[in-house]
Structure 1
Amino acid sequence: MTETRIGTLPDTAAETVWRWIHDCGNARRRELVGKLVTDGFRIHGTAWMGRAWTGADLRGPDACRTWLLTLHRAFPDLTTTVEDLFCAGDRVVARITHRGSHRGPWLGLAPTGRAVEFSQTLICRMENGRIAEIWQELDGLGLLITLGGAPPMGTAGPGQALRWAAGAAARTAFNRVPQDRPWPWRGTGWQSVPPFPAQLSGTGDPDGTELAANEKALHRWIDECVNEQAVHICSEIFHETYLGHSPPHAEPEPLHGPEGYARFIRGILTGFPDAHATIEDMVSAGDRVCCRVRMTGTHRGVYRDLTPTGRRFAMSQIVVCRMVDGKIAESWQEIDGAGLLLQLGYVPRPGSRPLAMLSWFLRLGASLAGAAGRSRTEGARRG
């Protein structure tokens, strides 16, 4: 293990991000934020989380320190593990896992004492050795479900929603989690900082042809497999040994092989037949490709047992892929599932009080009733 370096900047862009995660996050050295980020630093996250978390955009070092303090108060024993780290040009990609326990208020949710484990992917843009911007995607829906702030997937009907809402309101009113032991809010040495690894993920020395082939596979995945609904070409894009990792609420088990992904995308296109995705950023290094994607569509079919609402949505996601012979051999996908279900009305706003919970339930019932009426009208018209 090495000591945290104070007053100096890391030598590489990847090491800057490593220090951001371990020094400022795990070691609670929030005073180092100003040395690792630019004055104009900004975090791009989901709109619902930004409002619930800080009430404003995360801009500048001071806002970043406040954000970290909020995180550490909510999960005082939180530790973060770097699962994947690679860089290309002015971009650094980090795939990480957080583990801890819910001991303080979080997104308006009272402490539950529950253990949490959630994944997150970061795309960092660097300027002069410091982090200028971060685009982040985390398993917010899985976290909310764990903490009782969102109903489990499959809570489809008004009756199920009412039972969940009543239980959530009771927990909000009566739950008390004591701070039963002191927590180290600050100070050096809270957690040892591991040395920066000599070997990054996505290393190797592919030529331009290999990098182009890797990127082409991801463009075909979005442009053809999703937007043109050409699901039959999955075998041309996904390696025969493909393994796909998604948050459990999106896909309970890893996807296996091209047919596994084909089954997954058919489910998406059944629920959202007009789904359209756009690649907003792509980072390629060695055998790794990361893309930031925005998807829009309309909820016109059943998706994961959720009755269609007819509502429009816009959702962000970040996907990291490991490539073999120009095909996707493994992928890790972070999607804004909470934002999706908020827009569809299936999830209440985080931290909703009992009256707001009741209002959410009534709106959900009206939405489902309206959707059922529209479905009957369309069926009669077709008949």
Structure 2
Amino acid sequence: MTRRSPVPLLLALATLAAGAALAAGAHADEAREEAPSTIAVLCPPGDRFGLRIVAELESLGFRAEILDPAAEPATRASLEASARRAGAIAAIRAVRSGPGVEVWIADRVTGKTVLREMAGGADDDGGAPDRDAALALRVVELLRASLLEASLPAPPPGEVPATPEIREKLRVPAPAALAGEPAPALRFSLAPGALLSPGGLGVSASADLGLAWMTSEHVGVFALAVIPLSSARLERSHLSLDLSALFAGGGVRFATREGRMAPSVDLGLAVVSLWSSGRVVSSGFLGGESTAVTVAPFARLGVAFAVTPGFRLRADLLASVIARGVSIQIAEHDTVTWGQPILLTSAGVDFGWF
């Protein structure tokens, strides 16, 4: 009978044990990565000032982890390494320097390391506990000031992102909060557009000019002018017809603001000036021109995106109708109309003053 060597079995057990250890380490690393608001505080066990910093951090809702620096020197590299090992977004180390402290902060969100000398004692009226409390508060505020840079439109690159939890705890304003600044009340808009009236004639190009005065945050008045840049045209083998329309009017604007977006609704009345010219080509030539002026109600939906409080991108859709539209009979059973309804789409820019 042959005896099998126990070596393969021992190797298999060792492999399983190593795999379990690696899995446990991975789970530990994941658990640390899932604690994005942890701050590592490097101080000797029982250090009174380090405990004051921990208390200030925990009062803000952070999770503080105390690490013993032992004899490790206070350097940027050692501090950043300690933060990574703890899975923390930042690490703080305060070294006594006379009545004050020398503070090191490694901020992994902004990728910065801050070194600051903080004096204390000479100007303090209280004793050592009060002095420690004041210095600890200043240390935590220094960390908050560093983390606040994550709210800049172009934040410094860091190792870890500024999570929603961090933003909430520090009340870091998002870049979109810039839209919360008061917007100018007087605004001028300029936008190219396309004017269309289904009924047989084509699309014409136009320039949409607008002036609005917001008397309150949500209500204002406006004036507009829609200047034709081309005419609506109809081309047939025996006929060429052009029609141009000029709008000028005003009304009431209702607006609101959602972050950087500012939707609006305009209701108003416009004077519409129509000019048409046509020619008929057959055995001879026949041409003619005509003009007409009428009044038409309109509604316009718009939305503006605030790049800055004084400069916005804007898009609008206007709808109107002429009670007695322009009707042109080309042949016995061939008629084109214009003005029932009228649609104008435009997109451009919006400037604000005052």
Same fold (TM over 0.5): no
Which of 1 and 2 has greater Rg?
Answer: 2
Q: Counting strand residues as a fraction of each chain, which structure ranks higher?
A: 2
Scaled by the length of structure 2, the TM-score of the pair is 0.24
Structure ranking higher on relative contact order (CA contacts 8 Å, 6+ apart): 1
TM-score (norm 1): 0.23
